[in-house]
């Protein structure tokens, strides 16, 4: 009873190869899935910062597979950056701290999987973009990330969450949730449910192009929210990409789509004043510029043609996932207030509408990118 956070986390941190004890711990509230803590340890000479995480077992059913991918991806990124002459390697990619027995995760007596990363100094994250420059940096960061992983050696990565962006299956899950309506919540979400049904036709477009072989499978991040980019405190440049649990075989369009979702409206994901939520073209232009400056070298024309559409699709898919979770009782995304997932859904659907109104000009922006800027 009455255990402090430090007392609770200390024995876990001790399992990792950190020379000294945990001194201070703080809950990190960013992210809807894993439990994350910022911890400060005495490392024998001074204080060092680390990030301690407990993997959400309900969401990631095979944590060792997640860790296997993570370790391979981090090692490859580090090697590539080193080859490119990067001087600040420890800032540009995540570094896992091994346990005292040489593994990259620790399983506690409850069967929970824990891992520790070295803290990266002088960075911060944002929950919403504050300038076109931010949008450009998000695009560049994830474009470079994809580009660095193009030649990851070895076997195909594990699918840590199968069918993660299978929008058709996401839609089926939504329909089931509406039919079951276990908590009688559908009546609070009539307009959103109707909006979702009206958009069913878009759910298969990328899936069909993938299955016809028109779009290649690549290694992708799959969770390219702006808040998954660490930004330099001094220069505001993107430093590193985090949240690598869903890095797996996928489609670059989904990555770009989630960047459109999180970096082209200057609002929070759960903004309740919907009049503020809109896709802003200057942000989109910069996002495209940043992304294609890195990914333009390897994307096929079929992929490019669907970039603008992907923004609509992934914003819709994410709204649909929030709505499904709301209907089923908020078991997946962590919520901080009642109806939080419904609010999040409304914000996404408002953004979908705004994208729809500007889809043609977005398409032109992508088509006119010439790589000379």
Please give the residue ranges that form the binding site for ligand GN1 (CB under 6 A): 31-33, 59, 223, 225, 228, 243, 246, 269, 318
- Which C-beta is closer to ligand GN1: that of 137 or that of 223? 223
- Which C-beta is closer to Mg ion: that of 192 or that of 223? 223
Q: ∠ CA(344), CA(127), CA(31), 5° rounding?
A: 70
Question: Burial level of 334, CB count in 10 A (0-12/13-18/19+)?
Answer: middle
Question: Burial level of 35, CB count in 10 A (0-12/13-18/19+)?
Answer: middle
Query: Shortest distance, CB of residue 33 to Mg ion, whole angstroms?
Result: 7
Query: Shortest distance, CB of residue 69 to Mg ion, whole angstroms?
Result: 16
Q: 197 to 256, contacts with Mg ion by CB under 5 A?
A: 228, 243
Contact 265, 354 (CB under 8 A): yes
Contact 363, 285 (CB under 8 A): no
- Which C-beta is closer to Mg ion: that of 269 or that of 343? 269
Instruction: Say which entry of ligand GN1, Mg ion, none residue 32 contacts (CB below 5 to 8 A, set by partner kind).
Output: ligand GN1
Q: ∠ CA(113), CA(115), CA(118), 5° rounding?
A: 175
Query: DSSP letters of 28-74?
Result: E---SSSEEEEEEEE-SSSEEEEEEEE--TTT-S-HHHHHHHHHHHH
- Which C-beta is closer to ligand GN1: that of 22 or that of 355? 355
Query: Shortest distance, CB of residue 228 to Mg ion, whole angstroms?
Result: 5
- Which C-beta is closer to ligand GN1: that of 245 or that of 289? 245
Query: Shortest distance, CB of residue 93 to Mg ion, whole angstroms?
Result: 16
Query: Shortest distance, CB of residue 242 to ligand GN1, whole angstroms?
Result: 9
Q: Tokens in use for 270?
A: 């759960």
Interatomic CA distance for residues 34 and 57, integer angstroms: 9
Instruction: Say which entry of ligand GN1, Mg ion, none residue 246 contacts (CB below 5 to 8 A, set by partner kind).
Output: ligand GN1
Q: 10 to 49, contacts with Mg ion by CB under 5 A?
A: 31
Residues forming the site for Mg ion (CB under 5 A): 31, 228, 243
């Amino acid at each position: 009873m009455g255990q402090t956070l430090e007392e609770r986390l200390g024995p876990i941190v001790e399992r990792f190869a950190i020379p000294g004890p945990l001194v201070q711990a703080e809950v990190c509230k960013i992210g809807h899935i894993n439990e994350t803590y910022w911890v400060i340890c005495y490392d024998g000479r001074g204080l060092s910062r680390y990030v301690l995480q407990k993997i959400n077992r309900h969401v990631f059913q095979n944590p060792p597979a997640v860790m296997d991918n993570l370790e391979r991806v981090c090692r490859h990124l580090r090697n590539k950056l080193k080859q490119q002459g990067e001087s600040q390697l420890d800032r540009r990619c995540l570094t896992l701290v091994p346990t005292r027995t040489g593994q990259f995760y620790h399983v506690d007596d409850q069967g929970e999987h824990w891992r520790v990363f070295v803290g990266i100094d002088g960075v911060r994250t944002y929950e919403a973009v504050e300038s076109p420059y931010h949008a450009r940096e998000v695009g560049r960061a994830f474009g470079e990330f994809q580009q660095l992983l193009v030649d990851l050696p070895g076997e195909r990565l594990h699918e840590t969450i199968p069918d993660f962006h299978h929008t058709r299956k996401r839609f089926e899950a939504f329909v089931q949730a509406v039919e079951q309506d276990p908590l009688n919540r559908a009546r609070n979400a009539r307009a959103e449910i109707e909006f979702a049904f009206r958009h069913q036709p878009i759910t298969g477009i990328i899936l069909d192009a993938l299955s016809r072989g028109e779009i290649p499978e690549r290694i992708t991040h799959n969770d390219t929210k702006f808040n998954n980019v660490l930004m330099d405190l001094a220069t505001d440049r993107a430093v590193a990409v985090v949240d690598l649990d869903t890095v797996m075989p996928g489609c670059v369009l989904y990555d770009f789509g989630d960047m459109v979702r999180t970096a082209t409206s200057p609002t929070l994901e759960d903004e309740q004043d919907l009049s503020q939520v809109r896709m802003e073209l200057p942000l989109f232009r910069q996002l495209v510029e940043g992304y294609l400056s890195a990914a333009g070298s390897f994307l096929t024309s079929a992929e490019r043609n669907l970039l603008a559409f992907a923004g609509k699709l992934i914003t819709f898919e994410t709204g649909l996932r929030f709505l499904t979770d709301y209907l089923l009782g908020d078991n997946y995304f962590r919520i901080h207030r009642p109806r939080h997932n419904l609010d999040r859904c409304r914000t996404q659907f408002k953004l979908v509408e705004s994208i729809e109104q500007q889809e043609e000009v977005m398409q032109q922006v992508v088509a006119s990118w010439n790589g000379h800027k």
